[in-house]
Amino acid sequence: MSRSTDAAPGAHRADPGTTDPPGDADPTSPARPNLSGDLDAILVSPPDFRRRSLGYDRLEVDNYVAWVEAELQSSRRETEDVLERYGRCSAELALARQLLAHSPAGQEMVHLTERIGTILQLAADEAAELTDTARAEAERLRAEAEADRTLAAQARERIDAERARLAAEAAQERARLGAEAAERREQLDREAAERRAREAHEAAERIERAAEAARAAQDAETAAAERQLADVRAAVAELERRQEAVRSSLARMADRLDDALAELATTLPTAGLRLEVPQQAAS
């Protein structure tokens, strides 16, 4: 005997172990078990779990196992209830047989109670069979779930090993990139230092050329000034020479004039004229 819920044909029930929305089920895929209380689904169709790269979906398996265990507990309770009712009915049946064995009508009731006892016995056998089948299915699902857990643990170990390997490779790559970056920085620093030295040398050369040009210009200006000064000095010397020549000429003229005046003075009779003439000559 099993507990079942009244549902319309074709109605979709939400599966606690899945996330598929209503209406998205594939009509060609195996039917998923009804986790709302249909114990017959365990015996009629196998569970259909989503596949993952390392086995079944663990959440679906855990939900299914929990549901099966709950159904088994419910089946056990129902079986115990049926057996208890069967025991009571058997006792009542035995008592009824004893009471009805003393009358003709009771003989017919005895046959009826025997059929009822047979029905109850069949029901008890069916309940026991369902219980055993559900227990075996639960054990199988537990074994599969344990195998999935083992596979998941192995997968986690592989993932951890892969993560460690990737972390080591990433550390090596970071170290390599860091070394390359340091080498590149040193190279850039060297190039920058060389560029600064080259620029400083070029600037010094430009300054030296400018200084040489300034010295050359100053030398040219000095030479021009010296030439001008020499020209001026030559002109002054020429003027002094001419002045000296003029002085000499004037001195000679004065001497000749003095001689002429002296000679004239000897020839003139009056002294007044002698005095006037020297005064005019002196002026």
pLDDT score at 280: 53
Q: Look at residues 72, 82, 77, 63 and name the one whose alpha carbon lies nearest to residue 136.
A: 72
Across 12-16, 111-115, 249-253, the highest mean pLDDT is recorded for 249-253
Least confident window among 24-33, 34-43, 173-182, 247-256:
24-33
Tell me which amino acid residue 1 is: M
Determine the Cα–Cα distance for residues 31 and 12; give it in Å rounded to an integer.
11
Q: Which residues share a beta bridge with 52?
A: 55
Q: Is the pLDDT of residue 258 over 50?
A: yes
Report residue 133 as tokens: 């089948």
Output the CA angle 171-173-174, nearest 5 degrees. 65
Q: What confidence category does residue 15 fall into, taking pLDDT thresholds of 50, 70 and 90?
A: very low
Residue linked to tokens 């049946």: 93
Question: pLDDT higher for 176 or 144?
Answer: 176
Determine the Cα–Cα distance for residues 72 and 75; give it in Å rounded to an integer.
5
Report residue 117 as tokens: 């006892």
Least confident window among 6-10, 148-152, 166-170, 181-185:
6-10
pLDDT score at 16: 39
Residue-wise burial string across 109-138, b where 16 or more C-beta atoms lie within 10 A, e elsewhere: ebeebeeebeebeebbeebeebbeebeebb
Least confident window among 29-38, 90-99, 160-169, 215-224:
29-38
Determine the Cα–Cα distance for residues 45 and 72; give it in Å rounded to an integer.
17
Length of the chain, in residues: 283
Q: Is the pLDDT of residue 121 over 50?
A: yes
Least confident window among 119-123, 216-220, 256-260:
119-123
Query: Residues 6 or more apart from 17 whose CB is under 8 A from it?
Result: 35, 49, 57, 59, 60, 61, 62, 63, 64, 67
pLDDT score at 197: 92
Q: In this predicted model, what pLDDT tens digit does every residue of 174-192 receive, in sequence order?
A: 999 999 999 999 999 999 9
Question: pLDDT higher for 188 or 26?
Answer: 188
Question: pLDDT higher for 20 or 80?
Answer: 80
Q: Is the pLDDT of residue 19 over 70?
A: no
Output the CA angle 199-205-211, nearest 5 degrees. 135
Q: What confidence category does residue 6 fall into, taking pLDDT thresholds of 50, 70 and 90?
A: very low
pLDDT score at 189: 92
- Percent share of the chain, pLDDT over 90: 9
Q: Is the pLDDT of residue 49 over 60?
A: no
Report residue 244 as tokens: 């000296």
Q: What confidence category does residue 47 fall into, taking pLDDT thresholds of 50, 70 and 90?
A: low
- Helical spans, DSSP H, in the chain: 40-44, 58-100, 104-267, 271-282
Report residue 239 as tokens: 């003027």
User: How many CB atoms are located within 10 Å of the residue 180 CB?
Assistant: 10
Average pLDDT over residues 149-158: 83
Q: Is the pLDDT of residue 35 over 70?
A: no
pLDDT score at 279: 52
Mean model confidence pLDDT for the chain: 73
**Which contacts qualify for 31-38: CB closer than 8 Å, 24 or more apart?**
33/64, 33/67, 34/5, 34/7, 35/63, 35/64, 35/67, 36/5, 37/3, 37/4, 37/5, 37/71, 37/74, 38/2, 38/4, 38/5
Q: Is the pLDDT of residue 243 over 50?
A: yes
Residue 223 CA to its chain's centroid (Å): 74
